[in-house]
Structure 1
């Protein structure tokens, strides 16, 4: 089960008999999961450049799941007394695959949200499973190798781009804050680190830090029993999904670094 993903370093973990349920009742779901996840590739430009909103790599992954019938679904659980609606609760899941006999697998992708999103996802899965709406819940997030290797990956990016000052960073279209600039200078002064090393550590601490969604934060919730007893499949994306190939400007699913930057404050103000 998932041999090709395991060979690439993916983390695969099952809870509450999810392995048996998927193997017996959902072979098609397993095949689709392996196909979609096996094609995951994230250019380093997107790791560094994705700003406000959803990262482009996540959007490509969502489109791939959508193409296989894993669609956004809103579950509404309604209670009635003598035919009169008295209580209604809704749960929205980003990717739901429905099979014959109303057998359902629900999936959420948590690439780089705040880690409390794991609580939301797991509690949703728990309630939907208790109501008989889903059979298994799946969560895809950054795995341990991707989280641990992130500074090295960004450092390589900085060295290949020959970043040696904040001016070089700004030339990419990035806009470090005064605090970030001060933190880079502090790292350089404290240890004699090169600019690329210091900037990579500061960048990763701010953008992909401990309080974001990654494997260890998900594992913490699982060990505390959050989501139990819903059968769960957990998937951790490995560092091997990150590529250093140049982004093609003509590819609609891959944007250049500057295309991926957050919108300026004035643009967001105009929409509000």
Structure 2
């Protein structure tokens, strides 16, 4: 399952019988996700202009899911009724939900949030699955190869487009005073603006405390989200276009 994605470098992990559920009960969900992700590409310029936040790439991915395949944002409301009286009401907002004839899939895209968002997502999936609301939960995030290649990507982009001072950098984004100081300090260490800026940019925007594969893996190994069936997908460096 997801062999085309794996050949392209995507990390794919299915936990708690998720693969069996997809293969036998919700194959359309797997087909749709694979098709959408195989078409995914990230121009390096968009990565830089986005300043590290949700880029046009993730916006296009969300649009493809929502508008192309009807994976819509949804608020699940769980109410506790005791003797006819509502005693508790909890809502769980999920960015992409799709109901199939044999089950419901809840999906989150964590491109570059703070890593505690993984705890929120996994705990939401666990509760919704326990209440019989969803059949499987999924998370798409930066894979190891992408996360580890970001400095190299940024430096290559800087060299290619002669980003060798703050003036040329301003064509893409304007760093804050704090970020300028960080870039200057890294440039002294690296010996060139391109490498110094790339190192500072990635450290500031895509640090270890953001959402990426290793942080997600740490949580599922601790059992966060268990026993909800989970599909985890890591985006590889191969999707970057310089």
Q: Distance in 1 between matches of 2:207 and 2:111?
A: 12
The Cα of 1:178 is off from its aligned counterpart by 2.8
Which residue in the other structure is 1:21 paired with?
A: 21
Q: Distance in 1 between matches of 2:88 and 2:186?
A: 55
Greater Cα offset, 37-46 or 49-58: 49-58
Q: Distance in 1 between matches of 2:146 and 2:237?
A: 4
Which residue in the other structure is 1:267 paired with?
A: none
Q: Distance in 2 between matches of 1:189 and 1:60?
A: 38
Alignment of 1:153-168 (within 5 A): 153-168=153-168
2:209 to 179, 190, 211: 211
Which residue in the other structure is 1:54 paired with?
A: 54
| TM-score after normalising by structure 2 | 0.95
The Cα of 1:150 is off from its aligned counterpart by 0.4
Q: Which runs of 4 or more aligned residues in structure 1 lie more than 6 Å from their structure 2 counterparts after TM superposition? A: none
Deviation per residue, 1:164-214 (Å, 9 max, x gap) = 1122212x14222233223333233334x3211111010000111111110
Greater Cα offset, 37-46 or 177-186: 177-186
Q: Distance in 1 between matches of 2:75 and 2:182?
A: 43
Q: Distance in 1 between matches of 2:64 and 2:227?
A: 29
Which residue in the other structure is 1:135 paired with?
A: 135
Which residue in the other structure is 2:95 paired with?
A: 94
| TM-score after normalising by structure 1 | 0.85
Which residue in the other structure is 1:80 paired with?
A: 81
- Runs of 5+ in structure 1 lacking a partner? 245-272
Q: Distance in 2 between matches of 1:189 and 1:199?
A: 10
Which residue in the other structure is 1:35 paired with?
A: 35
1:70 aligns with 2:68: no
The Cα of 1:12 is off from its aligned counterpart by 0.3
The Cα of 1:120 is off from its aligned counterpart by 0.6
Q: Distance in 1 between matches of 2:187 and 2:65?
A: 43
Deviation per residue, 1:48-103 (Å, 9 max, x gap) = 011486321111101111121211111111111222222111111111110125x1
1:114 aligns with 2:114: yes
> SS of the residue aligned with 1:93?
strand
1:5 aligns with 2:5: yes
Q: Distance in 2 between matches of 1:53 and 1:168?
A: 21
> SS of the residue aligned with 1:174?
coil
> SS of the residue aligned with 1:188?
helix
The Cα of 1:221 is off from its aligned counterpart by 0.9
Check the 8 A contact 2:105/2:135 in 1, yes or no.
yes
The Cα of 1:138 is off from its aligned counterpart by 0.5
1:182 aligns with 2:181: yes
